[in-house]
Amino acid sequence: MLNFVKPFLSERNEPIGIDFGTTRLRLAQTSLEAEGLKLQWAAGCDVPQDVVDQRATRSGFFIQSLKTLLSRSSFQGRRAVLTLPAFLTHVRHVRVNRTQPEELPSQLRTAVADKLPGSPDDYVFRHVIAGEFRADQGTQIEAIVMAAPKRDVEQLLDDARRAKLDVVGLLAQPAAIIECFQRVYRRAADAEAVNLFVDFGTRQTRVLIGHEGTLRFARSVARTLYDASAEPDSVQLLADDIDLCRRYHEAIFPERPVTRLIYVGAAAHAESATQSIAEALGLPAQIGDPLVRFNRSQMPQLDVLDRRKPQPEWAAAIGASLSLSTHAPASSQREASVAQQHRSTDQTPAAAPTGGSTR
């Protein structure tokens, strides 16, 4: 659906999903068994505090950590889908007049150029079409544009290859999270739900809204739950920030109000704070468990996760692993077909942007 990946020959084991965060590096591989989804293997390690801000240090850490984790694990094959780290990605909402699909990438690139540090020529752009709307000047497109420094994207792909991985796809982290829960939340009620995902990071909180299998809203806010000890009112202020995101979405989609909160990220386990946010927003809330449809009895014994508990911090890695599955829900296949109309012929290596390219 919203991934930037290209299909390869079907294999029983899905690729290794790789999520490079500011505090943890996570690798997860899924497979489809007769009994349903199975977690084939998972591995991870801490990311030192000073690593992510220095390109050379980050590169060396990423290569060596991948080599070490792969050598000590039971992953099947070396096909991999990377998530584009949130610390490298700028996310912006843009509304433009509807145009021909082949002209849209350039139009979006122009619209977002003054919202980025530096020259737009130094970025790789991807976009997701959130929706189309009637306006006085005609039909307009609401797009979510994701931009990352071209040099950093190329370095990330090269580092993965140097670690002997066969990179078959690159996903923006918001797309990976939506992908994950579209595939594991399959009840009838889930099809009608409008989910507001709150991804608690150490540097920022990412707010995502999805419905009908599609990312409809994405924004990062500077406040985090990790500020709570330094600022007494930070939880309420964070709830206010999240509510602003909800109101923006509901102004665009007045017929699709948010129906539930889903918490992901390591801080999703902070019960008191997350309960306060849910109460402030007046919404039912839950911890997002990417393993909810997996056969837990068949999971390997792993030090990096407790299979008895929800694992919200693994959503991006598992979503990346699932993103190439040919067993996609019908809604996912429809969105891929629609998104394909907006793709550009200019593609980042190992990444075919079915979500659209504005490079």
Nearest-angstrom CA–CA distance, 47 and 229: 22
Q: Which of 102, 122, 148 is the last residue of a domain?
A: 148
Kindly state whether residues 109 and 209 are assigned to the same domain.
Answer: no
Handedness of CA 332, 5, 207, 135 (dihedral sign): negative
pLDDT tens, position by position, 190-224: 889 999 999 999 999 999 999 988 999 999 999 99
Looking up residue 226, the CATH number of its domain turns out to be: 3.30.420.40
Q: Which of 121, 148, 175 is the last residue of a domain?
A: 148
Kindly state whether residues 191 and 290 are assigned to the same domain.
Answer: yes
Average pLDDT, rounded, for the chain: 87
pLDDT > 80? residue 5: no
Distances (CA, A) of 143 to 80, 83, 107, 122, 140: 28, 20, 11, 21, 10
| 116 token code pair | 């980025």
pLDDT tens, position by position, 9-67: 444 689 999 999 999 999 999 998 777 899 999 999 999 989 999 999 999 999 999 99
Confidence of residue 356 (pLDDT cuts 50, 70, 90): low
Confidence of residue 298 (pLDDT cuts 50, 70, 90): confident
Q: Determine the pLDDT at residue 350.
A: 35
- Asked whether residue 6 is assigned to any structural domain, the reply reads no
pLDDT tens, position by position, 98-138: 999 999 999 999 999 999 999 999 999 999 999 998 888 78
- Between residues 337 and 125, the one the model is more confident about: 125
Kindly state whether residues 293 and 312 are assigned to the same domain.
Answer: yes
- Which residue reads 């190992």 in tokens? 350
Query: What residue type is 243 in one-letter code?
Result: D
- Asked whether residue 166 is assigned to any structural domain, the reply reads yes
Selection from 172, 125, 169, 120 nearest residue 147 by Cα: 125
Query: Whole domain around residue 84: which residue ranges?
Result: 13-89+150-340
CB 117, CB 20: distance < 8 Å: no
Kindly state whether residues 235 and 248 are assigned to the same domain.
Answer: yes
Kindly state whether residues 234 and 315 are assigned to the same domain.
Answer: yes
Selection from 165, 123, 142 nearest residue 346 by Cα: 123
Nearest-angstrom CA–CA distance, 164 and 177: 26
Total structural domains within the chain: 2
- Asked whether residue 5 is assigned to any structural domain, the reply reads no
Report the Cα–Cα distance between both ends of the chain, in Å, rounded. 19
Q: Determine the pLDDT at residue 12.
A: 65
Beta strands in 64-137 (DSSP E): 79-84, 90-97, 123-135
For 4-30, give one letter per residue: b (16+ CB within 10 A) or e.
Answer: bbeeeeeeebbbbbbbbbbebbbbbbb
pLDDT tens, position by position, 247-272: 999 999 999 999 999 999 989 999 99
Q: What's the pTM?
A: 0.87
Q: What is the DSSP string of 2-49?
A: ---B------SEEEEEEEE-SSEEEEEEEEEETTEEEEEEEEEEE--T
Pairing of strands 79-84, 166-172: parallel
Which range (175-184, 216-225, 341-350) has the least confidence? Answer: 341-350
Q: What is the DSSP string of 271-314?
A: HHHHHHHHHHHT--EEE--TTTTB-GGGSPP-SS--TTS--GGG
Selection from 158, 99, 90 nearest residue 125 by Cα: 90
| 186 token code pair | 């399959």
- Asked whether residue 7 is assigned to any structural domain, the reply reads no
